[in-house]
Structure 1
Amino acid sequence: MLQSPQPSQRAPLSEAVRFLETYPDVQAIDIVLSDLHGVGRGKIIRRHELESLFASGRGMPASLFAQDVAGDDVAGAIAVMQDGGGDSRCWPVPQTLSYQTATGRGLVLLQMDSADAAPHPLDPRHALLAQIDRAQAMGLTPMGALELEFYLVDQTRDADGRPRPARAPMTGRRLTGTNCMSVDELDEMAPFFDAVYEGAAALELPLESLISEYAPGQFELTLRYRALARAADDIVRAKRLLRTTARRFGMEACFMAKPFSHSSGSGMHLHLSLTDEQGANVFADPSQGELSAVMLQAIGGIRSSMAASMLVLAPVLNSWRRFAGTVYSPASNTWGVEDRNVALRIPAGSATSRHFEHRVAGVDANPYLVAAIVLGAALDGIAAGLEAGPAGAGGAKGYAPMPSGWLDAIGQFEACTQMQALLGAPLHQMFAAVKRGEHDALAVTVTDLEWQLYGTTL
């Protein structure tokens, strides 16, 4: 359940003053609020406006949370808004004001408050913070990291007008072949990724390992394990870094879950653990070959809501194409130790650093919502003392059937009281309304493929 709203944490004015002193030549700053989809909405303000933003906030309409991915209002979602269309106040997220090397501008993330200065119930970041507050009330601190898989595609299309993998900046060669974990391919891409890491250093963004993934032009970046809210912020900032840098190399960073029909999909795996008030990992193995009871209870809680949570983990039509090929993309209610075919994997490693990897979310999911529902369900499992159930691919018996597709996922999410409790009724209702509106709009859209198959055939 959500805790009672508390005044939201706001970045101090000293952060703005220090930034302006450190970067005297910066003339503009991107101010970015993440909507329900994780899409950045906001403005580019001028240098002289920054201190005012930190001191007084900035007005933006809460109807931004009633828009679809394209930024169009969803009628069913607008209908549930009760603020008359006026502005709500947005405030800088602490420790996110930083410099973008690719653009020469600053960047700061925003979060929205209601008129009474309490966290706005429709802001996804506040939904995560509410679950973190709940964990802390239980004497627990959530720690985590999210992996980021993505494609780099050419800004120009092929002869048939279709997207294609990018060319390597060093050699000019178009990326072809799977080349999973190819170090030479990473070297060919070095000018781009050197710029990414340079940008990450300026953003104080803890990017770590870089991997050539399981398809032409697909890569993975890992980020440092740390406090869960910061880990979610890291994904938002990393996506912006990749997009802005790619554009300056003649490429686009693609965060679709399944951009190419016959190539690997892109996930956003969440690694999560909990520490106690002394800083000890409560998921740590109590003895050789034995898993923590608290960890197993957390897994039990996540499994209890796995089916209903799928709309958050796979939020758009394209998300479900990622599950068509099930290798390493498990849309299942399963868990296991060192098994990449299950939804909840417990990696091998140090017993004291034990954690689980939630492998279902696509890179198109909102990181704040993913972290909120996974953490919240884990806390539910711990509070109720739930059992993890049988491990392995055959261990899903006894749980609600997984959704058969996007529309089924919308229905299961809408009907789930646990999702409503974890996200709060307003956000739960708004997210369902926006997704149902997106589904209905796509359901009446005639595609090019339909013309190709049926236009002059039937």
Structure 2
Amino acid sequence: MSKRTKVAEKHAADAPRGVTSISEAKAWMAAREITEIECTVPDLAGVARGKIMPASKFLTSPVMNLPLSVFLQTISGEYPSYEGLVDSVVADSDLVLEPDYATLCTVPWAQDPTAQMIHDAYHRDGRPVEIAPRHVLRHVINLYAAKGWKPVVAPEIEFYLVEPNTDPDYPLKPPVGRSGRPEIGRQSYSIQAVNEFDALFEDIYDYSEAQGLEIDTLIHEDGAAQMEINLRHGDPLALADQVFLFKRTIREAALAHKIYATFMAKPIANEPGSAMHIHQSVVDAQTGRNIFSDKDGDPTPEFFSFIAGHQKYLPAVMSILAPYVNSYRRLTRDSMAPINVQWGYDNRTAGLRVPPSSPEARRVENRVPSSDANPYLVIAASLACGYLGIAEGLRASDPIESDAKNLDFELPRGLLEAVAALQDCEPLAEVLGRRFTTTYAAVKQAEFETFMRVISPWEREYLLLNV
């Protein structure tokens, strides 16, 4: 073993997150006495699928196999018809899952020393799996790279803390904090309301530090026991990985305190919904200069075209940004969520907000996505909208200074309408991949059919004895 290799392995063993090779992974695991490793791949819903294996087995054979169906499964565990979705005669053939060593980190809540690593999916002939969310995002990033650009994102994820709920027929309720009382009124930005769950958030910070995840800020949002975690800006794939891991981290920390953490878009009827806002900018890959600002610090044509791309294409990607029937309960006129594609400077009522910043940090905040969405697909779809806007030289409307909620709805009002808009949009099929958009639409339609089998309390309340 060369001296350089030994130094690299020593450095990898000391780092909380990420290595570059199987030999560095071996040193990293040995330093932490890792006995098991969770090999995961995010599916279309952002759920972690995969296998758990002994570390010794992984180190001798780091590639694993899973069936193609992991990317066709609905959130309820069912599948659409495979017809037209797969090429192979063997419809559910095995895929090859290869580890991304940069994602190696611990599982801090596990009882035994355990590591985890995100994998990428390939066909047996070496082709990337077109419908795998990480590949969809990589493909969009590569389109920017071909132009000499690097997109930069910063996600903000909202979620609720609720009492454990084992019967889905009962509404969710805020949990009891350290005072012994549940939060009733809304406590926006309240430090005291966050302090009610100090022990839980200390665990979240500890778990995050152990995994090498960086939290920028933690705040209390508008809803009762609704929180928001902001992540530092960076590479889109790395940030999507962090959101993927953060969701699981927050759920696990909450469960340890006998609380549920939910990322449902609208979990409680009379409370605000939960969003996943995406801040976006684009820099020149060579110079690092923000292409949204010129040398004088003024906004560039690319900046306005990026906004215009969102205005044109956001309705067509709504089934990605708001992926479930419940997601559309958040997008109402009487909520904090946007209902159209208007934009404005520091205007939180618009779907697209330009926050106050220096020219170097000029960015666009997409406020439409909900927190129940797959972070890889949300970031890919949002960046795809901006890319198409620049590529097509689109022109944005004038910024709005008034309350955008007083204007008309411009976004789909339901899941089927949103799916149809995605299916009808040829430019997005080219950017996101036609196989992906076809498969995604089929999965969403299958989920809607499952929803239609359920009779809601509203129907029993108003129809049972009245019609």
Q: Which residue of 1 aligns with 2:325?
A: 317
Distance 2:200 2:389 in 1: 43
Q: Which residue of 2 aligns with 1:355?
A: 363
Distance 2:350 2:395 in 1: 17
Distance 1:405 1:47 in 2: 45
Q: Which residue of 2 aligns with 1:409?
A: 418
Find 2:439's aligned residue among 419, 430, 442.
Answer: 430
Kindly, what percent of the aligned residue pairs are identical? Answer: 30
Contact 1:275/1:281 (8 A) holds in 2: yes
Distance 1:291 1:53 in 2: 51
Q: How does 1:98-247 map to 2 (within 5 A)?
A: 98-104=105-111, 105-156=114-165, 161-168=170-177, 170-247=178-255
User: How does the TM-score come out when normalised to structure 1?
Assistant: 0.91
Q: How does 1:327-342 map to 2 (within 5 A)?
A: 327-342=335-350
Contact 1:11/1:92 (8 A) holds in 2: no
Amino acid at match of 2:142: D
Q: Which residue of 2 aligns with 1:63?
A: 69
Amino acid at match of 2:382: V
Contact 1:53/1:92 (8 A) holds in 2: no
User: Secondary structure of the residue that 1:437 maps to in structure 2?
Assistant: helix
Cα shift at 1:43: 2.0
The answer to whether residue 86 in structure 2 is matched with residue 81 in structure 1 is yes
Contact 1:307/1:400 (8 A) holds in 2: no
The answer to whether residue 295 in structure 2 is matched with residue 283 in structure 1 is no
Find 1:91's aligned residue among 98, 101, 119.
Answer: 98
User: Secondary structure of the residue that 2:276 maps to in structure 1?
Assistant: coil
Deviations 1:346-381 (A, max 9, x none): 100222111110110000111111111211221222
Cα shift at 1:343: 1.0
Q: Which residue of 2 aligns with 1:421?
A: 430
Q: How many residues align?
A: 441
Amino acid at match of 2:107: Q
Cα shift at 1:284: 2.8
Distance 2:290 2:208 in 1: 28
Contact 1:28/1:47 (8 A) holds in 2: yes
Q: Provide structure 1 residue ranges, at least 5 long, that are not aligned to the other structure.
A: 1-9
Amino acid at match of 2:80: V
Distance 2:460 2:47 in 1: 31
Residues 129, 188 of structure 1: CA spacing in aligned structure 2 closer, same or farther, 3 A cutoff?
Answer: same
User: Secondary structure of the residue that 1:380 maps to in structure 2?
Assistant: helix
Cα shift at 1:401: 4.9
Contact 2:161/2:259 (8 A) holds in 1: yes
Contact 1:150/1:253 (8 A) holds in 2: yes
Deviations 1:304-362 (A, max 9, x none): 21211111111110000001245431131111111001111110022211111011000
Contact 2:42/2:49 (8 A) holds in 1: yes
Amino acid at match of 1:226: G
Amino acid at match of 2:95: S
Residues 292, 409 of structure 1: CA spacing in aligned structure 2 closer, same or farther, 3 A cutoff?
Answer: same
Distance 2:191 2:270 in 1: 23
Q: Which residue of 1 aligns with 2:3?
A: none
Amino acid at match of 2:200: F
User: Secondary structure of the residue that 1:323 maps to in structure 2?
Assistant: coil
User: Secondary structure of the residue that 1:31 maps to in structure 2?
Assistant: strand
Residues 35, 209 of structure 1: CA spacing in aligned structure 2 closer, same or farther, 3 A cutoff?
Answer: same
Deviations 1:389-437 (A, max 9, x none): 22226999xx995323222111111111122112111111000011111
The answer to whether residue 267 in structure 2 is matched with residue 259 in structure 1 is yes
The answer to whether residue 459 in structure 2 is matched with residue 453 in structure 1 is no
Cα shift at 1:186: 1.4
Q: How does 1:291-302 map to 2 (within 5 A)?
A: 291-302=299-310
Deviations 1:6-54 (A, max 9, x none): xxxx962134213312211x32222221111111111222222221453
Q: Which residue of 2 aligns with 1:4?
A: none
The answer to whether residue 21 in structure 2 is matched with residue 12 in structure 1 is yes
Q: Which residue of 2 aligns with 1:379?
A: 387
Cα shift at 1:294: 1.4
Residues 156, 389 of structure 1: CA spacing in aligned structure 2 closer, same or farther, 3 A cutoff?
Answer: closer
Distance 2:322 2:265 in 1: 8
Moved more, 410-419 or 151-160: 151-160
User: Secondary structure of the residue that 2:85 maps to in structure 1?
Assistant: coil
Contact 2:350/2:404 (8 A) holds in 1: no
Amino acid at match of 1:111: D
Amino acid at match of 1:162: P
Distance 2:83 2:186 in 1: 44
Distance 1:244 1:383 in 2: 42
Q: Provide structure 2 residue ranges, at least 5 long, that are not aligned to the other structure.
A: 1-18
Q: Which residue of 2 aligns with 1:39?
A: 47
Residues 193, 383 of structure 1: CA spacing in aligned structure 2 closer, same or farther, 3 A cutoff?
Answer: same
Deviations 1:73-101 (A, max 9, x none): 223x5662233211101112232111122
User: Secondary structure of the residue that 2:317 maps to in structure 1?
Assistant: helix
Distance 2:289 2:115 in 1: 37
Distance 1:156 1:129 in 2: 37
User: Secondary structure of the residue that 2:102 maps to in structure 1?
Assistant: coil
Contact 2:159/2:371 (8 A) holds in 1: yes
User: Secondary structure of the residue that 2:293 maps to in structure 1?
Assistant: coil
Residues 141, 90 of structure 1: CA spacing in aligned structure 2 closer, same or farther, 3 A cutoff?
Answer: same
Distance 2:320 2:136 in 1: 13
Cα shift at 1:124: 1.1
Distance 1:320 1:74 in 2: 22
Moved more, 386-395 or 15-24: 386-395
Cα shift at 1:286: 4.6
RMSD: 2.3
